[in-house]
Amino acid sequence: MKKIVLLFFTFLGICSCFSQELPEKKDSMIVLQSKNTNILPLKSDVVKTKEKISARIFPNPAKNKVEIEISGFEPGYIKLQLLTNTGKLVREEKRLVLTGNETIIFMFSEIAGLYYLLLKQGTQMLKNKLIIQ
């Protein structure tokens, strides 16, 4: 019984770590502080070029799941929304991406028709057509 309780609490601890949101970066400033001086900001020499966000959905038309190959997103959470042709929200999920260039498997059970799949992260949004058979 003790092993089961220990296993349960270990599993809860792991799940709670994955459910926490990542802290957002404010900017690319590094702050150093010492006892003798005040706070001194130093700019980072790393220049980061932003890659244009894109997503490729396959198979399209789909039956009950699609694979979404994303690229150009920042590591963090991405909101996936499935909308009908009239704009009604049918399904919404929040997924954690670690590198920003990954493959996401999105499962659904909707009736056949034309849908739109929206991917949102911060101020960036990407919309793709999806046909469900």
d(CA 71, CA 64): 23
Instruction: Give the domain CATH number at 112.
Output: 2.60.40.1930
Give me Rg for the CA atoms of the chain.
21
Residue 23 domain flag: no
Residue 22 lies in a domain: no
pTM of the predicted protein model: 0.59
The answer as to whether 93 is a domain residue is yes
| Domain membership of residue 98 as a residue range | 54-132
Considering its fold, how many domains does the chain have in total? Answer: 1
Tell whether 116 is covered by a domain.
yes
Q: Is residue 47 in some structural domain?
A: no
Determine, yes or no, domain membership for 45: no
Q: Is residue 42 assigned to a domain?
A: no
Comparing CA positions, the residue from 107, 94, 99 lying closest to residue 70 is 99
Lowest average pLDDT, out of 26-40, 51-65, 68-82, 114-128, goes to: 26-40
At 27 the pLDDT is: 46
Question: What are the tens digits of pLDDT across the range 49-60?
Answer: 567 889 999 998
Phi, psi values for residue 35, rounded to 5°: -70, -30
